[in-house]
Amino acid sequence: MYGHHAVAAALANPLRRLRRLILTEEAEATLVQTLAPPWPLPPERTDRGRIDQLLGRDIAHQGAALLADPLAQPGLAAVLEKRGPIVVLDQVTDPRNIGAIMRSAAAFGAAAVITQDRNAPEETGSLAKAASGALETMPLLRAVNIARTLIALKAANVWCVGLDASGKPLSGPFFAGRRVALVLGAEGEGMRRLTRETCDEIAGLSIKGVVESLNVSAAAAVALYELTRAA
């Protein structure tokens, strides 16, 4: 992973198994202000060009790179013990979108983000950077079958709401007293048929102006904000 926020959050996470920390002088000075040493492992001092060679010149690493093992995935039962809405992503594949959704989920008190095991990216550097530290605090579960996961959530009294422009406007106060799972589909194609049919209901966002739809991460942020009005 790379970037100041992602690296600092991982260094502060005792559940992370860290392997190698590489920093430029400038990045180390910035990290010291965010997270006071000592750190779990000593940094290797290098220059920006060396990190460019390791990660690629197009990567906005900010002079900080960290090699770490993926976090252990919690079970659904553990997630259900936490408070807050649950975000379910049906074949959202862009790691930057997933990272941004995790950041919004953390900001609005969600319990977890669930993706499909086969069609979602691994914990990549771009996902961690887009999450801006939320990867360390927001549980990320991988489900073999999204429809079956929704059925399991419904059995636990979670109301599954699919987000689609065809639905009635999403209203946070309407869900007061209910535990909600917010289901979002892939860019362009949206939710798959079986996922849509398994949801308890379909809701959309009230969008005014010439824009017909939002990026999935932006839609997730707006929907999660709306759901907090039910709290």
**Contact (CB, 8 A) for 98 and 92:** yes
Provide the pLDDT for residue 206.
Answer: 77
The residue whose two tokens read 């997730």 is: 220
Question: Given the DSSP bridges, would you call strands 18-23 and 158-169 parallel, antiparallel or unpaired?
Answer: unpaired
Place of tokens 């319990």: 111
DSSP character at residue 132: T
CATH 3.40.1280.10 fits 76-228, yes or no: yes
Whole-number pLDDT of residue 231: 60
DSSP per residue over 153-197, as a string? HHHTTEEEEEEEEEEEEP-TGGGTT-EEEEEEEBTTTBS-HHHHH
The length of the chain, given as a count of residues:
231
Domain boundaries, the chain: 4-68, 76-228
Could you give the angle at the alpha carbon of 210 between the alpha carbons of 208 and 212, nearest 5°?
A: 75
pLDDT of residue 118: 82
Would you give per-residue pLDDT tens digits along the chain (231 residues)?
A: 999 999 999 999 999 999 999 999 999 999 999 999 999 999 999 999 999 998 988 889 999 999 999 998 899 999 999 999 999 999 898 999 999 999 999 999 999 999 988 877 788 899 999 999 999 999 999 999 999 999 999 999 999 999 998 889 999 889 888 999 999 998 778 899 999 999 999 999 877 766 667 889 999 999 999 998 766
Cα torsion at 56, 58, 59, 63 (round to 10°)?
80
**Residue for token pair 């927001």:** 138
